[in-house]
């Protein structure tokens, strides 16, 4: 069993709608799931 965690922050990009969070998380989730084993990924986009 593996664990994949994605962290999204509103510090660099404002979150005005719950859909914004969902969109960011789904993009990052694809990236972290492509890695082997348990991983985490923090959204550092500016």
In degrees and rounded to multiples of 5, residue 30 shows phi and psi of -60, -40
Residue-level pLDDT at 44: 83
d(CA 19, CA 22): 5
Residue-level pLDDT at 41: 93
46 pLDDT exceeds 80?
A: no
Q: Are 41 and 5 in contact (CB under 8 A)?
A: yes
The string of pLDDT tens digits covering residues 5-45 is: 999 888 888 889 999 889 999 999 999 999 999 999 998 87
Residue 39, Cβ neighbours under 10 Å: how many?
A: 15
Residue-level pLDDT at 5: 95
Q: What is the pTM of this model?
A: 0.72
């Amino acid at each position: 069993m593996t664990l994949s965690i994605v962290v999204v922050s509103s510090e660099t990009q404002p979150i005005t709608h719950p859909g914004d969070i969902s969109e960011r998380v789904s993009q990052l989730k694809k990236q972290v799931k492509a890695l082997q084993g348990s991983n985490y990924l923090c959204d550092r986009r500016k």
